[in-house]
Structures are given as structure tokens and as C-alpha cells.
Structure 1
Amino acid sequence: MRQAVQLAGYSAKSFGLGDSTAATATEVTARERRSMITRGKKARYWAPALADMLLVILRLDGSLYTPGLAPERPTIAFGDSVSEDPQTVAQTLSLLQQAQAVSTDTKLRALHPAWDDDAVRAEVDRILAETGAAVPDPMQSGQLM
């Protein structure tokens, strides 16, 4: 089994094969690099073929079931296979905040990458209101000196 996995270009650890000694996150990342490289190659290889196959399916659907359908070649995007540990993200954001090197908007976008601009803006407004950091613009209050 181990040989088959390695010949396919993956790390044996990706499939739970090998020794089970404790390792740091950096060591795990280094070992998994081979699998990530293989995954990237396979994603680049399969994306155009998948797009072509899906376009054919859309054209069939258009001709058989949906006559008005004007199919376009889909864009294939493979998601990240590894997500960062939430604790690592939190520590990174905390350090950036302590250094005053990141805005609330940027922190939210890092924490919630799927959120759209409206959701981020609404959450920023709520956070600033809760923390008392939302200061009204003095130019808008009509209290010019």
C-alpha cells in the first residue's frame, strides 16, 4: 500500500501510513509538501478536461431540456485542501492588532474569506459600536468651530 501511494506521488502520511510519532506543525507541513505538489499538478491537469466535459453536459441539457439555454464554458476552481488552524489565525490576527498593523475590516476578511463586502461592513460597524471605537465624524455633526 505504501509503495502504491508513493508511486502515485503522494506522501504516505497523507493516507495515515508510516510512523505515528508526534511532530510539529512545521514538520507535518514539510512532509505533506509532496502531496500538495501532486494535488496541484492533478488539479491543473483535470481542470480543463472537467470544464470541457461540463460544457458538453450543459449543451446537451440545452438541446434536450432547456432550448433557450446559452451554455458557457465553466471555470473550474479547486478549493484549498488545507485550512489554517483557527488558533494560528487568531494568534496571527492578535499579533497584528497589537502592532496596530491591521484594521478591523482586514481582520474580518482574513477570518471570514467567504463574506461579501456588505457582511464585512455590517460586522465592522457592530464591532466598532460594541467596543466604543465608532466615533462620529465631527464634520457631519454641524458642530464646526
Structure 2
Amino acid sequence: MSDLHAISTTLGEQLMSEEPSFWCHNKTFWKTYDAYVYAYNYHVNKQREASKEINFVEAVRIAMYDVFCERCTQRKAMRDAIRADKNFLSGRHQKPDILSFPRTPARDALYENWHRFAQTVAWTCSDITRNHISDYQNRPAV
């Protein structure tokens, strides 16, 4: 049974991370938050190009998946952080402190919708982590 009072900080910490670069949308990003802003704007612009009504909430969802799944796939440090966080799947995900960043539609949309998508992104990242068996290869025997 999950602990409703448990809080995971891993996704928020990874969003604020400036660790080694990773690829997202065929671009290199050093800051995960910058990748999110780019992905959010990319998806909003795709909706505009298709002459669709802009669904900002959907843009947040897709951008969160894009960024966190790419980072999780490419960065062992993120997978290790997920493995070490006992509340990653069962707890709530603490909203990152992004209010200090310049106010943009991407920032505001993420701040308003973080809790809507953080848990489903966490499940996907957990699956990526679980299936990333190369982390276990060449491990010293215990």
C-alpha cells in the first residue's frame, strides 16, 4: 500500500539538474529545464502549424515525457537516483522550485500542471530504469 504522505523529490531535482548534456529533439541540452522549455514550445508550435486549437496542457504532458524519458534513457545518474528513491513510485512528486526562472508560458504551464503528469512520467521513467540492464553489466561480484 502506498504512503500518501511520502514525497519524492527525484523528478524535481532532475528537472533542475545541470549534469552532463543529453539529447532531446536533436539538440544538446545541459540544463533539463531548458530542454523542457524547448520541447513545450516545439509542441505548441506544432499545434499552431497544424491550425489546431492550442492545447497547452497537452503540450506540458508531451514535453515532460520527452525530456524526462530522454534524460532517463541517456543518463545513468538519473536512473541511479530513481533506484535510490524509495518513494519514487508510491509518493507524490514535489513540485520543483521554478518560480525563480523568468516567467514564460512554458514555466507557468509546468507549474500549474506538474501534479497532473508527474506520477505517470515517474512510472514511465521507472520502466526505462528497470529495463536498462546495461547498468548491471560489469558490476563487481558481491
Bucket of the pairwise TM-score, normalised by the shorter protein: under 0.3
Indicate the structure (1 or 2) with the bigger Cα radius of gyration: 1
TM-score (norm 2): 0.24
**Richer in strand (by share):** 2
Bigger RCO of structures 1 and 2 (CA < 8 A, at least 6 apart): 2
TM-score (norm 1): 0.24
